[in-house]
Amino acid sequence: MHVSIVSPLNYGGKILAFDEAKGSYQVQSDRDGLKDWVPARNLRYSCVGAEPKPASDSFFIGSWTLFVGPTPHHEVIDGKGYLVVGPGAHVPPLAINADGTYVWIIDSKTTERGKWRKMADNELKYGTKGPAVLLMKGEDGKDWEVWKKGVNPANNRDAINIERMDLGLSYQGTRLP
């Protein structure tokens, strides 16, 4: 099936595959031929896609590869100040276990081991869509909220966001195979 607009890219494409469990669609771009997995809400003005099935806190159980997004910072180059955006980077993985524990490898010298629990709706940070779990005393000894983001556009694997409860510091995660 052809869709006239796939957002946020705002061009048409052809639906190649559908993953019912995740509510995601593989779409090939008319513009450049690239294939991406997108949620139903990104199929605009052409069809109504099926939404993913509701997730529970068991969704988070598993191993996740993490990525920290690009961050802007100031640099002085040839005596002038510039706002520069770094490239972002992969960081060590996080394992969330069914027994209520987690293992978060921070770097080659630091591994945080702790407990996690389901979060109540009134505990969620602004903009978070439940369900979410709380990693208690994670990186830097702080609490971190983990919530379902959808799927990774490149490979249709489950995706999460991890955000520190007291700051805007965050990571993106993709389920390891």
For the stretch 86-121, pLDDT in tens is 777 777 899 999 999 999 998 889 999 999 999 999
Please give the domain boundaries of the chain with CATH numbers for all domains: 2-44 (2.30.30), 57-175 (2.40.128.10)
Identify any residues that bridge with 174 across adjacent strands, giving them in sequence order: 65, 159
Q: Which pLDDT score, from 0 to 100, does residue 165 have?
A: 96
- Contact status, residue 130 vs residue 137, Cβ threshold 8 Å: no
- Contact status, residue 119 vs residue 136, Cβ threshold 8 Å: no
- Residue 58 confidence class, pLDDT cut points 50, 70, 90: very high
Rounded Cα gap, residues 60 and 148, in angstroms: 8
Residues in contact with 78: Cβ distance below 8 Å, sequence separation at least 6, in sequence order: none
Count how many residues are written for the chain. 177
For the stretch 7-50, pLDDT in tens is 766 788 899 999 988 889 999 989 888 899 988 888 877 777 77
Rounded Cα gap, residues 142 and 36, in angstroms: 35
Stated pTM of the model: 0.79
Nearest 10 degrees: CA dihedral of 102, 105, 106, 112? Answer: 40
pLDDT at 64 over 90: yes
Cα separation of the two ends of the chain: 29
